C-alpha cells in the first residue's frame, strides 16, 4: 500500500495550479473548522476569563479591571459553596447509578430473547429525547398534588395519604428527584456503551476461559473488564462532563429550589449572570467548571492516545 502511495506522489508534485497542491489544499480544507472553533469557542472563553476579573454587569458594561475581587466574593458566598458541593454530589451519585444500571442493562440486553429489539429501543429513549422536554414529564410526575409516584405509593400503602411527599418542595426529596432524572437520562448511554463493549469481547476467549474453569465473576473481572475498560472510561468521562455541566435539568425541575438547595454551577451561573445581570460574578461561577473539564480532557487524551499505539 505504501509503495502505491509513494508511486503516486510525483504526479501530485508536478508544478500545477495552486489549488492542486496537497500541501496547500490540506490546510485550506481544515481552516474553516479551526476558524469556527477559534472564533466561537476559544475567543468567548477568554472573554469569560476577562469578565471574571472585571466589574462588568448588564446595567454597567464597563471592563474596569478589579482583579480577584469577584472570585473572592463568590468564594465567600454560602450559596456558592453549597452549589459547588451539590454539583459534585449530583454528578458522582448519578454516575454510580448510571453505570450500575448500565452494566446490568447491558448484561440483560445482550441475551437473545423475543422482544429484545423493542426493549433496547425503549431503554435508549431517555438519552435520545431532548432533555428539556423529558424533564417536563418528570416535573409532572413529581407534581405536588397529582404525582403519579405518590398515588402509587399510597395505593400500595407505603405513603400516608394525609401527608404526601412534596418531591420538589423539600430539600432532600428535591435532591433525590434531580439525581433520579440525571441517572434516568444517563443509564441508557451506559447500556449502549457496555453493550458495544461486551460484543467486542471475542467469544472464543470466553469459551476457552469457561472450559478452563473460570466462573461468572472470574470471566467478568479478569477477561471482560480489562478489554472494555477503555470505552467505559470514555463513556464515564462524557457522562460526567454532561452531568457536571448540565443546567437544564435543575433549571426546569426545581429552578435551584427550594431556597437554592439544589442549585448547581450551571444554574447558579445562569441566575447570577443572566437573570440578575451580574455578568462578572456569573462568569466566575461558570469558570469553576473549567479545572474539572481540563482534568476530564487529560484523562480522555490518555485513553485516546493509548488506543493509537
Partner 1 sequence: MASLARRVAGTGSFYSAVAFLVLFAAFPFYWMLITTFKQDGDLYNLESIPYWFNESPTLEHVKYLFTNTLFLRWLGNTALIGVCVVVITLVVSLPAGYSLARMPGRTAENLGIGIFLTYLVPPTLLFLPLSRVISLLGLQDSLWSLVLVYPTFTIPFCTWLLMGFFKSVPREIDEAAIVDGCTMVGAFVKTILPLSVPAILTVVIFAFTLTMQEFVYALTFISSSDQKPITLGVATDLVRGDVYYWGELMGAALIASVPVAIAYNLFLDRFISGITGGAVK
DSSP letter, residue 35: H
Instruction: Assess 110 for contact with partner 1 (CB under 8 A).
Output: no
Residue 295: Cβ within 10 Å count: 12
Instruction: Assess 214 for contact with partner 1 (CB under 8 A).
Output: no
Q: What is the CA radius of gyration of the chain?
A: 25
Instruction: Assess 269 for contact with partner 1 (CB under 8 A).
Output: yes
Query: Which whole-number Å values give the CA distances from 212 to 206, 219, 228, 253, 300, in the listed order?
Result: 10, 11, 22, 52, 35
Instruction: Assess 5 for contact with partner 1 (CB under 8 A).
Output: yes
* Interface with partner 1 (CB under 8 A), residue from 68, 100, 208, 301: 301
- From the list 12, 33, 32, 8, the residue with the least C-alpha distance to 22 is 12
Burial of 190 (0-12, 13-18, 19+ CB in 10 A): buried
Q: How far is the CB of 107 from partner 1 (least distance, A)?
A: 9
* Interface with partner 1 (CB under 8 A), residue from 65, 88, 221, 290: 290
Instruction: Assess 299 for contact with partner 1 (CB under 8 A).
Output: no
Q: How far is the CB of 234 from partner 1 (least distance, A)?
A: 5
Instruction: Assess 22 for contact with partner 1 (CB under 8 A).
Output: yes
Q: Closest CB to partner 1 among 80 and 127? A: 127
DSSP letter, residue 19: G
Considering only 74-82, 137-145, 165-173, 215-223, which stretch makes contact with partner 1 by CB under 8 A?
Answer: 137-145
* Interface with partner 1 (CB under 8 A), residue from 66, 79, 92, 131: 131
DSSP letter, residue 218: H
Instruction: Assess 167 for contact with partner 1 (CB under 8 A).
Output: no
Report the distance separating Cα 6 and Cα 94, nearest Å.
Answer: 52
Q: Closest CB to partner 1 among 185 and 212? A: 185
Q: Which residues pair with 65 in a beta bridge?
A: 54
Q: How far is the CB of 142 from partner 1 (least distance, A)?
A: 11
Instruction: Assess 202 for contact with partner 1 (CB under 8 A).
Output: no
Q: Applying CB under 8 A, what is the total number of residues that bind partner 1?
A: 108
Q: Closest CB to partner 1 among 105 and 256? A: 105
Sign of CA dihedral 175, 176, 181, 184: positive
Report the distance separating Cα 44 and Cα 46, nearest Å.
Answer: 5
Query: Contact at 8 Å (CB) between 56 and 230?
Result: no
* Interface with partner 1 (CB under 8 A), residue from 93, 141, 173, 214: 141
Q: How far is the CB of 212 from partner 1 (least distance, A)?
A: 24
Instruction: Assess 3 for contact with partner 1 (CB under 8 A).
Output: no
Q: How far is the CB of 57 from partner 1 (least distance, A)?
A: 11
Residue located via cell numbers 440486553 = 109
Amino acid at each position: 500500500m505504501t509503495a502505491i502511495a509513494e508511486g503516486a506522489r510525483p504526479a501530485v508534485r508536478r508544478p500545477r495550479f495552486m489549488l492542486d497542491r496537497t500541501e496547500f489544499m490540506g490546510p485550506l480544507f481544515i481552516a474553516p473548522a479551526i476558524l469556527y472553533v477559534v472564533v466561537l469557542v476559544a475567543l468567548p472563553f477568554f472573554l469569560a476569563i476577562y469578565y471574571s476579573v472585571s466589574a462588568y454587569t448588564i446595567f454597567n458594561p464597563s471592563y474596569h479591571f478589579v482583579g480577584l475581587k469577584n472570585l473572592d466574593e463568590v468564594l465567600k458566598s454560602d450559596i456558592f459553596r453549597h452549589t459547588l458541593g451539590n454539583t459534585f454530589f449530583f454528578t458522582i451519585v448519578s454516575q454510580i447509578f448510571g453505570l450500575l444500571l448500565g452494566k446490568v442493562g447491558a448484561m440483560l440486553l445482550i441475551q437473545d430473547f423475543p422482544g429484545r429489539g423493542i426493549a433496547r429501543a425503549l431503554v435508549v429513549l431517555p438519552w435520545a429525547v431532548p432533555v428539556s422536554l423529558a424533564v417536563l414529564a418528570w416535573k409532572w410526575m413529581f407534581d405536588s398534588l397529582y404525582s403519579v409516584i405518590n398515588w402509587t405509593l399510597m395505593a400500595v400503602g407505603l405513603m400516608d395519604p394525609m401527608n404526601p411527599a412534596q418531591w420538589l418542595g423539600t430539600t432532600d426529596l428535591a435532591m433525590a428527584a434531580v439525581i433520579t432524572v440525571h441517572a434516568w437520562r444517563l443509564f441508557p448511554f451506559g447500556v449502549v456503551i457496555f453493550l458495544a463493549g461486551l460484543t467486542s469481547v471475542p467469544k472464543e476467549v470466553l469459551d476457552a476461559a469457561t472450559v478452563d474453569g473460570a466462573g461468572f465473576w472470574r470471566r467478568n473481572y479478569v477477561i471482560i473488564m480489562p478489554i472494555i475498560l477503555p470505552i467505559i472510561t470514555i463513556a464515564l468521562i462524557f457522562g460526567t462532563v454532561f452531568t457536571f455541566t448540565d443546567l437544564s435539568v435543575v433549571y426546569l425541575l426545581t429552578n435551584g429550589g427550594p431556597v437554592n438547595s439544589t442549585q448547581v454551577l450551571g444554574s447558579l451561573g445562569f441566575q447570577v449572570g443572566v437573570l440578575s445581570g451580574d455578568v462578572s460574578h456569573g462568569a466566575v461561577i461558570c469558570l469553576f467548571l473549567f479545572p474539572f473539564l481540563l482534568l476530564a480532557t487529560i484523562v480522555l487524551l490518555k485513553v485516546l492516545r493509548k488506543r493509537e499505539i
